[in-house]
Homo-oligomer: A and B are copies of this chain.
Amino acid sequence: MRANRKKALRNQLIRDDILDAALHLYTRDGYFNTSIHDIQREAGVSIGSIYNNFGGKEAVAKALYGQLVGHMENVVDAIASKHATAHDRCRAVVEVLFDMTERETETVGFILNAKHKEFLPDEPPICSSQPFVKLRDMIQAGIDAGQMRPMDPWVAAACTFGPALRMIHLRLDGMIAAPLPDYLDELWLHSWRTVGVDPVPEGLR
């Protein structure tokens, strides 16, 4: 049993090495500019291992995608259960995204920037994935509760998160030099004025 556990652990490590290498290369060079040989070299494993563990290049991307979407979902869930109002929840989402952009740049880049349709044609568009749907529901709940102005939920979502997402894109493209959290208060003050019924609380400006 001991040996089995150790073996399973080693297998998990190999899987993680492959996924880490894939994330790095996919975000840096793009999916199509990354060959299986590149991943194999970067991860320090053999081609055979990649095929045994995943089944091919696309399967690696799919597993990576699932892992990161799951991660995002956990983040959103944690926020939803920690905060009660639409304002606090939405602000926390932006705060976390800004933080992640600095600390887990590649994760954010892969989730937001990559054109998954091009290499994962069977996956639904990222906008209809669980975490994104939960964000929209979060906003709908805010409207129903009278905390956000009554408006089309898509428009509300675009107004709430559009500016922040734009900032993230600009940062990832190297157009913004300063870390995004520096902009959080200013950006959120303006974003929330668009959609919120009540203004941003004093302490958060």
Contacts and interface: CB of A to CB of B under 8 A. Distances in A.
Chain A, interface size category, equals 35 or more
A158 interface: yes
A191 B194 contact: yes
A146 interface: no
The number of times this chain is found in the oligomer is 2
A115 interface: yes
Contacts of A7: none
Interface string A153-173: 011011101111111011001
Given A151-B186, A158-B163, 7 more contacts: A31-B32, A115-B115, A128-B173, A149-B190, A155-B190, A158-B164, A194-B194
Contacts of A154: 167, 170, 175-176, 183
A118 B29 contact: yes
B115 A190 contact: no
If over half of A's interface residues share one DSSP class (helix, strand or loop), that class is named, otherwise mixed; here it is helix
Given A155-B186, A162-B163, A125 B194 contact: no
A183 B162 contact: no
Contacts of A186: 151-152, 155
Given A162-B163, A162-B165, A187 B155 contact: yes
Given A30-B118, A33-B118, A163 B152 contact: no
Contact of A194 (B31, B164, B165, B190): B190
Contacts of A167: 154-155, 158, 162
